[in-house]
């Protein structure tokens, strides 16, 4: 009797579990489950290994240090390090400046290229060029433009009678780095916002024009509310990418002069491949992940809430 009762309870629990899965997930989840398992294996495996390394005193030039436990000392050292917080400040300044300028210029170019004129397709194609250039080439290209003696920018300034500018000195290095990133990423913002502009109902715009709305009123009360989700999408993805930029920054300034352009990724690289301190490097990487999630999570959460509300 007891065995039958246990079997009955087991069947009931299994049915409830299957019903919960059908209600909670739906059949489409089983089609993406293999991809989820592969992604977890590819990404979660190295991340867990780095998490383990962050709790050790592992230094590459010190054999046997991999098994020396460190507890939370690596995290404590990083969080009390002035150079780390300088790198955080530089990273946030770089990301915020790049996103603000890129979003503004991208919106302006999208509005212009949404107009109907003869060379529109040509200019749209030209605007895409920075997007297809690799970051390494962009870093070398802009380093040549910024050269103090033989750079194109200073050659133009001198030709029109103005003094040359030290583009990569202590005061100008970070703004110059932001300009380089804006040049590359403005087409991305333009592309996303242009897609939003082309999804607007033309009848709505036509009715507003018939009612006497000015171009500023059209943008303020019709275009901007419609484009806001597209802007948030572009800014969210660009925020995550900007905080992880490394190759073009390294090729342009190598984090200098001093620590004026040392972002978190540059600081991580120097810790890992100059001091060979793998334990601290892994701790920096995990703290960096926490910072990126803290910054991007509110944007993505608000975006997903808006999408769910529209459904």
pLDDT digit string (tens) for the chain, length 311 residues: 554 555 555 555 556 566 665 555 566 677 778 888 888 888 888 888 889 989 998 888 888 778 888 888 989 999 999 999 999 999 999 999 999 999 999 999 999 988 888 888 888 888 888 888 898 999 999 999 998 888 899 999 999 988 889 999 888 999 999 999 999 999 999 999 999 888 888 888 888 888 888 888 888 888 898 888 889 888 888 888 888 899 999 999 988 888 899 999 999 998 888 888 888 999 999 998 888 888 777 777 776 666 666 55
Instruction: Identify any residues that bridge with 69 across adjacent strands, giving them in sequence order.
Output: 56
Cα separation, 168 vs 147, whole angstroms: 8
Global pTM value: 0.81
| Residues 268, 285 contacting (CB under 8 angstroms) | yes
| Residues 271, 281 contacting (CB under 8 angstroms) | yes
- Burial (Cβ within 10 Å: 0-12, 13-18, ≥19) of residue 234: buried
């Amino acid at each position: 009797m007891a065995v039958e009762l246990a079997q009955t309870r087991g069947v009931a629990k299994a049915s409830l579990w299957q019903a919960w899965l059908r209600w909670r997930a739906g059949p489409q989840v089983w089609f993406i489950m293999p991809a989820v398992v592969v992604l977890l294996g590819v990404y979660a495996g190295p991340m867990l290994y780095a998490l383990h390394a962050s709790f050790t005193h592992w230094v590459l030039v010190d054999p046997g240090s991999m098994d020396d436990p460190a507890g939370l000392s690596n995290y404590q050292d990083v969080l009390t390090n002035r150079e780390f917080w300088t790198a955080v400040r530089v990273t946030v300044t770089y990301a915020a400046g790049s996103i603000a300028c890129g979003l503004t210029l991208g919106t302006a170019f999208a509005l212009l290229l949404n107009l109907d004129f003869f060379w529109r397709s040509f200019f749209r194609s030209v605007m895409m060029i920075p997007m297809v250039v690799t970051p390494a080439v962009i870093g070398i290209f802009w380093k040549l433009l910024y050269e103090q003696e033989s750079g194109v920018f200073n050659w133009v300034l001198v030709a029109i009678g103005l003094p040359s500018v030290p583009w990569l000195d202590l005061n100008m290095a970070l703004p110059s780095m932001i300009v380089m990133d804006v040049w590359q990423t403005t087409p991305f913002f333009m592309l996303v916002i242009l897609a939003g502009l082309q999804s607007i109902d033309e009848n709505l715009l036509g009715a507003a024009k018939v009612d006497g709305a000015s171009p500023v009123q059209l943008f303020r009360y019709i275009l901007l509310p419609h484009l806001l989700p597209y802007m948030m999408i572009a800014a969210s993805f660009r925020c995550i990418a900007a905080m992880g930029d490394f190759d073009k920054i390294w090729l342009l300034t190598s984090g200098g002069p001093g620590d004026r352009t040392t972002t978190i990724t540059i600081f991580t690289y120097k810790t890992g491949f100059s001091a060979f301190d793998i334990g601290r490097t892994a701790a920096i990487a995990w703290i960096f992940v926490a910072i990126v999630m803290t910054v991007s999570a509110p944007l993505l959460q608000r975006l997903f809430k808006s999408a769910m509300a529209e459904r």
